[in-house]
Structure 1
Amino acid sequence: MALSIHTNYSALVTQTNLGKTNSALSTNQQRLGTGYRVNSAADDAAGLQIATRLNAQSRGMAVATRNTNDAVSLLQTSEGALSEMTDIVQRMKDLATQSANATASSDDRDAMQAEYDQLGQELGNVIKNTKYAGEGLFSDGGASAVTDGSAGKFSAALDFQIGASADEKLTLDVSTPLTDLTAALDTLSAQYATPDSTTPGTEIAGADGSAANGMITTLSDALDDIGSLRAQFGANINRLNHTANNLANMKDNTDVARGTIMDADFASESATMTKNSMLLQSGISMLKQAGQMPGMVMSLLG
């Protein structure tokens, strides 16, 4: 290579390599400082796009998990109310069965009727006042809604968002069995339909046990209606629990996949940074050496 004053080839090559080394060292430092391998689209354009989709999916599944847990809580609240209604109607059936027996006197039946009426009022109270987050589940408390089931959250189909995509939803429609149940309950006690009434009902009282006997089957049918609705709630609670488990599993693996793309490998980056740091120091030393080469030209002129 010729000696020249105008062009110092060795210095130019060394400067170019120093620029590359310095850029690589800066990248190493940025990755170690942030903990991410990909800090901008320039680092890995395709990887960033994939990681963004994975992150959106992961965050969506996290929200869906909360949605699922909220849905379970809603259904458990509803099923708990129906469980209490089952106990109430079962007791009403016991009273009707007892009142239908010929050994019961008129006074006995009046005493049974008094309890029966109070239980009927409590049925209306459960239907009217069972709420979740302040919203009625079976009725909004209106005068007609108590008897016909026309309002409360379950009067129409509910869509629970249980996934990160639009198609991942669970539709629960118990409006028809709820209407059937409220209609059945309306036949059990006058106190259920008009809880503020002080007029005693005649459902299981009377001179003989015929009225009470007639209520036994009606009460049994009401128990079946309650049981049918409870079964639907229970089945969906079980399904939602499995949904939550699956969401947790998918989210864990999605986060791992995103981390594989985005997270910095500290061992590798540390080793690379050490190498680039040494190359930078060596390059600076060689640049100093290359800067002395024009001086050799002057020695020829002397």
Structure 2
Amino acid sequence: MQVNNNIQLDQSVYLNANQALNRIATGLDINSAADDASGLAIAENLRVQTSGISQSIDNVNSGLASLQIADKAISEQSNILDTVKEKLLQASTDTTSQDGRESLLTEIKDLLENFDNIASSTNYNEQTLLQNTNEDKSISQGLEVQAGEKSEDIIDSEGIQSNTQGVGLEALLNQDPDSFSAEEARGYLENVDNAISTVNDYRGEIGSTQNQLQSSAANLLTQSTQLTAASSIIQDIDYAKETSNFSKQNVLAQIGAYAAAQSNNINQGIVTRLLS
């Protein structure tokens, strides 16, 4: 004699109910390779790619912050050079006395020393931006920003040497007051104009790099959004659907439990009759 039972059915129902409950708890449709091996592999690749893009966005933002600091510093240097030129023009006329001219030169030297102080002190994350180091007045290292997942995704800018040495004003900084005549002052006007042009070129290079970084940041943000959406489609659950599924499995489990109880009662009755 064979007595039917629904133990295998009950186990399947309970398994499905537990799986549905786990998905609701985590918010994920795939919680292990057993749920969907290929889907999990795709989702993991998307996660790694999204993580890389997220770091690239951080890199770009850091690069932008560095360039903004450099730009503001060079803007102040540009103002200094404008003032230097004004004072040179004042010193270049014969109606200015020699004492007045020497006083103007003192002011000019103070301005140029401040120009150099800005160059040596402007930094981002301990990296000097307008010259090589705090003490080294040679050209700074070019900025290279890793703006993508591949090694070639680099946005760079040229080095900067925005100090009196770099813009050609060391001679004016070291000018002897006793020999600072109107003619001598006029001779420096072209040097200052060239220095202003050099500083403007630095600002132009910085602005161009900023535009590239901003464009890259916008593109990376778009990629990140799309990858996140793709990963969500693969991994995230449909709460309404999964809740409905859990309710269904829960009802089936209750029906199974009731059927099992009835089956046990029937089986017990059969045994009792056989023994009587």
Q: Same fold (TM over 0.5)?
A: yes
Kept in 2, the 8 Å contact 1:117–1:201? The answer is no
CA distance in 1, matches of 2:163, 2:75: 17
2:146 corresponds to 1:161? yes
1:74 aligns to 2:66 (yes or no): yes
For residues 65 and 181 of structure 1, do their structure 2 counterparts lie closer, same or farther at Cα, with a shift above 3 Å needed?
farther
Corresponding residue number in structure 2 for 1:110:
102
- Compared CA separation, residues 204 and 101, structure 1 to 2 (3 A): farther
Q: Which moved more, 1:51-60 or 1:221-230?
A: 51-60
Partners in 2 of 1:39 and 1:204 — Cα distance? 83
Residues paired across the two proteins, number: 274
Q: Give the C-alpha shift of residue 266 in structure 1.
A: 1.2
> What is the SS of the residue equivalent to 1:232?
helix
Shift of 1:190: 2.8
User: How far apart, CA to CA, are the structure 1 residues paired with 2:111 and 2:275?
Assistant: 120
Cα distance in 1, alignment partners of residues 18 and 123 from structure 2: 59
Is the CA contact 1:96–1:204 (under 8 Å) kept in the aligned structure 2?
A: no
After superposing the two structures, state which structure 1 stretch, 40-49 or 234-243, moved more: 234-243
Q: Distance in 2 between matches of 1:301 and 1:108?
A: 131
Inter-CA distance 204–257: structure 2 relative to 1 (3 Å threshold): farther
Instruction: Measure the CA separation in 2 of the matches of 1:61 and 1:238.
Output: 19
Shift of 1:68: 1.2
Please name the residue that 2:133 is paired with. 140
Deviation at 1:72, TM superposition (A): 0.8
Q: Secondary structure at the match of 1:160?
A: strand
Deviation at 1:264, TM superposition (A): 1.8
Q: Aligned partner of 2:46: which letter?
A: L
Instruction: Give the Cα–Cα distance (whole angstroms) in 1 for the partners of residues 121 and 254 of structure 2.
Output: 78
Q: Flag structure 2 segments of 5+ consecutive residues without an equivalent.
A: none
SS at match of 1:51: helix
Distance 2:89 2:169 in 1: 19
Q: Contact conserved, 1:188 with 1:218, CA < 8 A, in 2?
A: no
Give the 3-state SS of the residue equivalent to 2:168 in structure 1.
helix
Aligned with 1:189: secondary structure?
helix
Identical columns (%): 24
CA 1:115–1:301 in structure 2 vs 1: closer, same or farther (change >3 Å)? Answer: closer
CA contact (8 A) 1:204 1:215 kept: no
Cα distance in 2 between the residues matched to 1:97 and 1:167: 49
Using structure 1 for the length normalisation, give the TM-score. 0.82
2:155 corresponds to 1:170: yes
Deviations 1:175-210 (A, max 9, x none): 3x638974333445235xxxxxxxx6359822xx21
The letter for the 2-side match of 1:21 is: V
Amino acid in the other structure paired with 1:167 = E
C-alpha distance in 1, partners of 2:191/2:214? 35
User: 1:75 and 1:301 mapped to 2: Cα distance?
Assistant: 94
Q: Rate the CA distance shift 1:105–1:181 in 2: closer, same or farther, 3 A.
A: closer
Normalising by structure 2, we get a TM-score of: 0.89
More moved, 126-135 vs 74-83: 126-135
* Aligned residue runs from structure 1 range 1-302, under 5 A: 4=1, 7-8=2-3, 10-11=4-5, 14-137=6-129, 138-142=131-135, 145-146=136-137, 149-150=138-139, 155-172=140-157, 174-175=158-159, 178=161, 182-191=165-174, 201-202=176-177, 205-206=180-181, 209-291=182-264, 292-293=266-267, 295-296=269-270
3-state DSSP of counterpart to 2:161: helix
CA distance in 2, matches of 1:286, 1:228: 86
RMSD between aligned residues: 2.5
For residues 248-268 of structure 1, the C-alpha deviation after alignment (integer angstroms, 9 at most, x for no partner) is 222122212111211121111
| Amino acid across the alignment from 1:257 | A
Q: Distance in 2 between matches of 1:170 and 1:201?
A: 44
